[in-house]
Amino acid sequence: MTELFTNIPFVKELAATADNMYRLGWDERNGGNISYLISEEEVAEYMDITNVRRVIPLGFNAKELIGKYFLVTGTGKYFKNVNGDPETNLGLFRIAQDGKNAELLWGYADGGKFTSELPAHLMSHIERIKVDPENRVVMHCHPTNLVAMTYVHELETKGFTHTLWQMSTECIVVFPEGVEVLPWMLCGTNEIGVATAEKMKSARVVVWAMHGIYGAGKTLDETFGLIETVEKAAQIYMLIGDRKRINTIKDEDMVKLVELFGVKYRKDFLDLKNGR
């Protein structure tokens, strides 16, 4: 059963994603975490969903997610090891009927548990599902250039978003709702989870100043690509530095982009003379 389960598509996909995130330097040591909402039908296809191995307290009440299944990276685990030993570094659990516990069905084979930032993940899932019922992924990592940018750029959502949009033509199309920004907060707490989830109501990307990023999406690929695009924009910004700019993407040109691709965007994040 173990060999079968570790080779099913959603486990292999998450392990491959963790590999890529580590390779890009987004998840040094045990930094970063991923949570993946899996349907009961998908899980039941590969294992006995009545066989609960352990019950682990969540640390908060996730009543909105009762009965839902999540594949989640473990606390203290290194992303570079996930692909080689998914059964130790990942765990699949169901939110118990009391909403306060996780029923472990597979993984955390060394006696471990889910990431300490699980509250931020589950709270974000709750809010993103309200916006988009197909949301299945929440991803946290530490992209180097984005973190650097939070040290030298004002931490104001509109300005931060506008700067990122200007860095590459694709940005306003990939994240037209912009990014939300939080000031530095103590990680691994319910407080930062609540703050992140609140920001997730309006955007799929939340920047944790001097720390990292939270991204949400329908699939692992979509979420990875979203963070990848934000990080690329931050990299360009950091390369430009204090150099004088003689060219830029104008706000009017960004409007042409979103109209061409038919995406809704935060109009109030642009400065348009004609109010388009």
Q: Which residues are catalytic?
A: 117
* Residue 69: strand pairing partners: 38, 94
> How many whole angstroms separate alpha carbon 214 and alpha carbon 205?
6
Give CB contacts under 8 A, 24+ apart, made by 108-113: 108/54, 108/74, 112/74, 112/75, 112/76, 112/77, 112/88, 113/56, 113/74, 113/75
Residues facing 114 on adjacent strands: 74
Characterize the bridge pairing of strands 180-182 and 205-208. parallel
What does DSSP say about strands 101-107 and 90-95: parallel, antiparallel, or unpaired? Answer: antiparallel
Whole-number Å distance between alpha carbons of 79 and 68: 24
Number of Cα atoms under 13 Å in the Cβ half of residue 188: 7
Distance CA 203, CA 217 (A): 10
Q: Which of 136, 108, 128 lies closest to 35 in space, CA to CA?
A: 136
Dist. CA 276–CA 270, nearest whole Å: 9
Instruction: Give the DSSP letter of residue 269.
Output: G
Separation between Cα atoms, residue 107 and residue 46, nearest integer Å: 14
